[in-house]
Structures are given as C-alpha cells and as structure tokens.
Amino acid sequence: MLSRIPCLISCARCKFAGQRRISPWFGRILQVQSLDFAAAEYSIPLRLESFQNLMQMESKMKTGYTLPDVTFHTRVRDESIEGPNPFRWEDKTTADYFAGKRVILFSLPGAFTPTCSTYQLPGFEKNAETFAANGIDAIYCMSVNDSFVMNKWAKSQDLKAVSVIPDGSGEFTRKVGMLVAKDNLGFGMRSWRYAAIVKDGVIEAWFEEPGLADNHGEDPYGVSSPETLLDYLAEEAKGVAAE
C-alpha cells in the first residue's frame, strides 16, 4: 500500500541542499543530497517510519543531544614552511574540539558580515575572561566558510581567546539542522545563527534565534548573544550556590 501513497508534502523547511525534491510516489526514486546520507539515492518502497525520521532532521540539536562526528579541514601556521604563506592543511574532528571540555560554540551566517563582526564575535572575545571564570574552557566561532576566510577574519578581529572553526562544506551545520539557504543575499547555503554550551560533546544549553527558515528576510540576533549566555551562566551559578 505504501508504494501508492502520494507524498504530497510542501514542508516549510525540507532543506535538501542541491536536489530539493521528494518523489510524488513512494514507488519511485527519492533523491536526497543532504542530511546524514548526502548525495545518496534511495530506492523505494520506503518504510513509513524511515520517511518520518527523514522529515524530523530539522532543528534536532537540543539539550542532551550529542554533537555529530565531523572532520573539519583547517589551515594552521607552520613556520617550517618557507614563503609568504606558511600554512598547511590539518584535519580536526569534533572530538578534537569538544572532548573533555566545557565550551561555548556559536555559529553565524558568515565571516565579515555586519552583525557577526560588530557584535557577536567581538562580544564573545571581550567577555572571554568572564566566561572562563564561569567554567568555560574554550569559545568557538563556526561559520559555513572555508579555512582561508575564517583565518583571515580571525586575524582582522585580532582574536586572542575565541577560536574559529571552518565548516566549509556545511556538513556539521547540516547535521545539526541549522543549514539554511540565503540565496536572497547571494550567500548560498549558510548557518542559521545559534549558540550552545557544550560539555564533553553533549549539548548542555541551546540558544537558537527565532524564525529558522530559508531565505529569511531578516537576521535575528539576541538569543545567541554573549550577554544571553552570560545570564544563563550567572543563573546557573546562583542555583549551585543555593544548594
């Protein structure tokens, strides 16, 4: 019976990057170039529960969830390399950044963009000592930009405390359900703005800007600000002190 059930779905956020289509009948081929099985073709009939799981991928990173295992392709300085560009490729994994530490991760639509460069990134850098006093071991800024861009942005911001993570292909952002289209700005696929406190790779607190959507006409900012996270940590400290 499932092979004849029409897939008449007009979901608000079926973020299947690239090939955004669902076969109108389960008896055909479902082509997906996103989620945890990127660029795959799945022959149907497809079990109903499998389809339901596929549709539940958006916004899946909440308190208590484990970050996805991803390899990030970074460029690191190597003084043994001669010439004007002494950098080499170095792969880092989710575990390299998050294992055994309590950290802040915040992600934003793009390096060098106004809100990100004027408020969010400088705010986290400015408050780094206060975050450290509240039990934060590291602060990471992520964007769907390559390592060349992220390194240049970090240099232009004179970062000392915040480290940048290049999610160049958007794999991590896609797997946490935060990859959105920003074609209305000529950006392509980028990250929705969010922040999280992560302990040993597990989400302790999640701060997502409202209105998660493709081609959003605005850029909401406030929920994921450093001030919001500082307030959270302050309230947490009060609770611990009262025990």
Confidence class for position 168, pLDDT limits 50, 70, 90: very high
**62 occurs within a structural domain:** no
**198 occurs within a structural domain:** yes
Residues 86 and 176 in one domain: yes
Q: How far apart are CA 144 and CA 93, in angstroms?
A: 16
Residues 203 and 89 in one domain: yes
pLDDT for residue 41 is more than 80: no
pLDDT of residue 123: 98
CA 132 to chain centre: 22
* 178 touches 60 (CB < 8 A): no
Q: Is 116 a catalytic residue?
A: yes
Total domains present in the chain = 2
Asked whether the CA dihedral 42, 44, 48, 49 is positive or negative, the reply is negative
- Domain carrying residue 99: 71-242
Q: Which residue has the tokens 């073709």?
A: 41
Residues 78 and 160 in one domain: yes
Q: How far apart are CA 191 and CA 142, in angstroms?
A: 9
Active-site residue identified among 7, 11, 14, 116: 116
**61 occurs within a structural domain:** no
Q: What is the pLDDT of residues 99-125, one digit of tens each?
A: 999 999 999 999 999 999 999 999 999
